């Protein structure tokens, strides 16, 4: 029931708007809000892109399993972009620095410096999409981890510019240190203009809901 409600709520939002994707850099002078909810965490990223090859902004996260928060800044840098007449490839670096705040009983209210770094790659044409990203996270005692995920998808129809675009996708997330090391999440992505949303559910029955808006 909740899946059905979220789907129609999400569809109502995106149907009224004009082509974007979930990339971490906008056009020069553009702002982006990215709100993500998945198997491991809830997060928000609000960033500004001064130029076409980098962005910087506020990153906030809540990691559900180990009950800690991150608050700090994230810097995204476009290393390489390859455009052809039929496809596009992107390679990004993502780095962040800030504070980790634990709410777990054994170290409740403990605050530590936190750093993370990772890469993100994606390739797509009008029919197919694939991406890979990872992250190494470090703080002294709250949570150290390596996380990686890969997504595959295809478009069931080819829309024109300005149409509502849809992708059927599968995301596989791997976190070696976690109890549940691998999570599979079928998801539906739809975007139109400055709005993108994704909804899915993992093999552990966790609902994924992601929302992106560019200004």
Residue 63 CA to its chain's centroid (Å) = 14
Q: How far apart are CA 137 and CA 13, in angstroms?
A: 34
The first and second tokens of residue 166, run together, are 């849809």
Greater model confidence, 98 or 211: 98
Q: How confident is the model at residue 160 (pLDDT cuts 50, 70, 90)?
A: confident
Greater model confidence, 194 or 50: 50
The first and second tokens of residue 51, run together, are 């130029």
Cβ contact 113:99 at 8 Å: yes
pLDDT at 3 over 80: no
How many domains does the chain contain in total?
1
Q: How far apart are CA 38 and CA 211, in angstroms?
A: 12
- Confidence at residue 65, expressed as pLDDT on a 0 to 100 scale: 86
Residue 100 CA to its chain's centroid (Å) = 20
CATH number reported for the structural domain that contains residue 82 in this entry: 2.40.160.40
Strands (E), 2-143: 30-37, 41-51, 54-63, 68-83, 87-102, 111-125, 128-138
Q: How confident is the model at residue 93 (pLDDT cuts 50, 70, 90)?
A: very high
pLDDT over 90 percentage in the chain = 60
Q: Which domain holds residue 89?
A: 2-214
Q: How confident is the model at residue 24 (pLDDT cuts 50, 70, 90)?
A: confident
Greater model confidence, 24 or 173: 173
């Amino acid at each position: 029931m909740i899946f059905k409600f979220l789907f129609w709520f999400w569809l109502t939002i995106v149907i009224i708007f004009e082509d974007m994707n979930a990339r971490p850099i906008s056009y020069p002078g553009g702002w982006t809000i990215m709100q993500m909810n998945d198997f491991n965490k809830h997060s928000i990223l609000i960033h500004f892109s001064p130029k076409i090859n980098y962005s910087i902004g506020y990153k906030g996260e809540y990691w559900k399993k180990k009950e800690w928060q991150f608050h700090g800044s994230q810097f995204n840098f476009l290393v390489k972009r390859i455009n052809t007449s039929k496809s596009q490839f992107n390679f990004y670096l993502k780095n962040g620095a800030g504070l980790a705040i634990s709410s777990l009983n054994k170290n409740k209210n403990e605050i530590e410096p936190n750093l993370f770094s990772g890469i993100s790659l994606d390739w797509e044409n009008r029919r197919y999409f694939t991406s890979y990203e990872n992250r190494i996270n470090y703080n002294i005692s709250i949570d150290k981890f390596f996380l990686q995920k890969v997504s595959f998808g295809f478009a069931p129809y080819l829309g024109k510019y300005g149409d509502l675009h849809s992708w059927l996708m599968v995301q596989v997330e791997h976190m070696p240190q976690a109890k549940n090391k691998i999570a599979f999440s079928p998801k539906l992505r739809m975007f139109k203009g400055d709005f993108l949303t994704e909804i899915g559910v993992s093999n552990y029955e966790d609902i994924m809901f992601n929302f992106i808006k560019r200004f």
